[in-house]
Amino acid sequence: MIVRCSSEVAAALSEGRPVVALESTITSALGLPAPHNRDCFDRVNAAIRAEGAVPALTGLLDGQLVAGVEPGEEDRLLNATQKLAERDLYGAMAARLGAGVSTVSATVAIAHLAGIRIFATGGIGGVHRGAEQSFDVSSDLGAMARHPVAVVSAGAKAFLDLAKTLEVLETLSVPVVGYQTDEFPAFWSRSSGLKIAHCVETPDAIAATMNAARDAGWPGGFLIANPIPRADEIVAAEIAAAIEEGLATAAAAGATGPAATPRILAAIAAATASRSIPANLALAASNASLAAKVAVALSRMGRVRN
């Protein structure tokens, strides 16, 4: 097998029980500072299990792609310092890298290979501001077009060019489905002011939409846009100044693309008195819970695997 599934995940898939893939970047110190990364790991796993689904943490261990970890192995991914996008997976496998954490693009690739149809994260990457000069567009978008995995997220990270991100998703024919919203969420904020063409009210409706696309021959994935819980939102007007400060900090350091993201997030955390970290945790748990509900619906429909 290209992907080593944990015994729990393998059993669930073989029995048609619901499984939710998880990226490991967000639960590593590369995604959130310790101890918040461990808190995030505990929260998303608890949210998935509370809905009756099985969490499958993805990544790479000893040169092997993994979907789900055995007890104790999660520490190796929580403490890993190598981040892997989809394009990095194959070199890391050949080099038998000891431990690497998966980004969104890597996770949809691993989930597809493992036969897992749905994946929960925080926010996807997208088109960076100034991309008309830098051509800086996240590989997350292309990965969603290539792999038949639904990604549940709180939109894209708010410091990106959200309008251009939606345009690229449209160009790639990736369906964007709003969950109980007709506006694209902006990560820490519930709304970006950008309309979504298709919205649904229930997890069952998401599952039915996914099945309709598969039956019609769509070979790619979905983006399920799930706004941050209202109680945990940092409204767009408040976060805007913090985003500009973070972008300026990254630019002054010469950081671009993936290297810029940690600097921007650190500046935003400082500017919001660290309110962004509890917001990150809340939206990650909310996305995990929704993904699990959809996975349960897919299982009930007998369509849990790709």
* Catalytic residue numbers, as ranges: 23, 157
Under a CB-based contact definition with an 8 Å cutoff, are residues 52 and 101 in contact?
A: no
Question: Is residue 128 packed enough to be buried (19+ CB in 10 Å), middle (13-18) or exposed (0-12)?
Answer: buried
Show the 3-state SS of 157-208: CCCCCHHHHHHHHHHCCCCEEEECCCECCECCECCCCCECCEEECCHHHHHH
Reduced to 3 states (helix: H, G, I; strand: E, B; else coil), residue 243 is helix
CA distances from 193 to 24, 141, 182, 183, 184 (A): 30, 21, 10, 6, 7
Cβ within 8 Å of residue 202, ≥6 positions away: none
Strand partners, 295: none
Could you count the other beta carbons within 10 Å of the beta carbon of residue 263?
Answer: 18
- Tell which residue, 43, 65, 47, 45, has the closest CA to residue 55: 45
Element (H, E) at 66: strand 64-67
Alpha helices in the chain (DSSP H): 7-14, 36-50, 74-78, 89-94, 104-114, 131-134, 139-146, 162-171, 203-215, 236-252, 260-271, 276-300
Under a CB-based contact definition with an 8 Å cutoff, are residues 221 and 202 in contact?
A: no
